[in-house]
């Protein structure tokens, strides 16, 4: 089995640091119109911001995985869970939702998103180009830092299933987190073979 990092090493960053990252990210925002967010995990079915429009889209050269340790949101120090992460990987692609936010969205409207995605610095915010039905547009998304201590890497499916089956945290079970995301992808007509295999492995384990 893989070894999660010691819990004391997984600590939230300060509100001040979180705000600095938000400001730095907005300062890097390309000047091409509407503010968009690309969601590839739970944001697809539970966005924490106002939405003016949403469209199925594809992000090329990035891979969706279940590859970060969770000891708070969907797990505990005793029974750590895992979470979604987006990782740069040439030749792959990730289907998700690109959300267009209202034109009057202000900096403070993004604070709930930052508190959710940037609780630690497991992710780094990145402006990417997504393909939304043939239309290419810029969107903000959160890419995993593979050097961060919460990065679990590409664990075997059976090992992931073992962790997920018994993990639960402040926001519910790790299983539901995965299952709801897979259900939303199915509803959208998105087939993610890796996530389907992972969910099936957990279902078999929990029978």
What digits encode the pLDDT tens for the residues 63-75?
A: 999 999 998 899 9
**SS3 assignment, position 97:** strand
Q: Which fold is adopted by the domain 11-206?
A: Hypothetical upf0131 protein ytfp (3.10.490)
**Catalytic: 24?**
no
When computed from its CA atoms, the radius of gyration of the chain, rounded to whole angstroms, is 17
Q: Is 33 left (phi over 0), alpha (psi -120 to 50) or beta?
A: left
For the stretch 90-147, pLDDT in tens is: 999 999 999 999 999 999 999 999 999 999 999 999 999 999 999 999 999 999 999 9
CA distance 180 to 175: 8
Q: Given this model, what pLDDT does residue 146 score?
A: 94
Query: Is the pLDDT confidence value at 186 over 90?
Result: yes
DSSP class of residue 183 equals H
pLDDT tens digits, 26-47: 999 998 789 999 999 999 999 9
Domain boundaries, the chain: 11-206
pLDDT at 7 over 60: no
Going by C-alpha positions, the residue among 62, 64, 35 that lies closest to residue 51 is: 35
Local confidence band at 4 (pLDDT 50, 70, 90 cut-offs) = low
pTM over 0.75: yes
158-182: pLDDT as tens digits: 999 999 999 999 999 999 999 999 9
Query: Which residue of the set 117, 121, 126, 135 is catalytic?
Result: 117
- Helices 157-166, 193-206: crossing angle, 10 deg rounding: 60
pLDDT confidence bin for 193, thresholds 50/70/90: very high
């Amino acid at each position: 089995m893989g070894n999660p990092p010691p819990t004391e090493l997984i600590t939230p960053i300060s509100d001040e640091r979180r705000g600095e990252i938000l400001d730095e990210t907005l300062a890097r925002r390309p000047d091409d119109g509407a503010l968009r967010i690309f969601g590839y995990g739970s944001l697809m079915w539970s966005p924490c911001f106002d939405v003016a429009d949403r469209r199925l889209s594809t992000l090329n050269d990035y891979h969706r995985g279940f590859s970060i340790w969770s000891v708070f949101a969907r797990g505990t120090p005793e029974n750590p869970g895992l979470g979604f992460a987006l990782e740069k990987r040439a030749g792959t692609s990730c289907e998700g939702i690109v959300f267009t936010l209202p034109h009057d969205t202000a900096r403070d409207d993004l604070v709930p998103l930052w508190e959710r995605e940037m609780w630690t610095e497991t992710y780094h915010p990145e402006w990417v180009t997504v393909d939304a039905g043939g239309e290419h547009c810029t969107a903000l998304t959160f890419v995993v830092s593979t050097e961060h201590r919460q990065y679990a890497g590409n664990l075997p499916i059976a090992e992931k299933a073992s962790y997920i089956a018994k993990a639960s945290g402040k926001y519910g079970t790790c299983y539901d987190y995965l299952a709801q995301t897979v259900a939303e992808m199915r509803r959208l007509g998105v087939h993610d073979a890796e996530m389907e295999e992972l969910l099936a492995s957990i279902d078999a384990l929990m029978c």
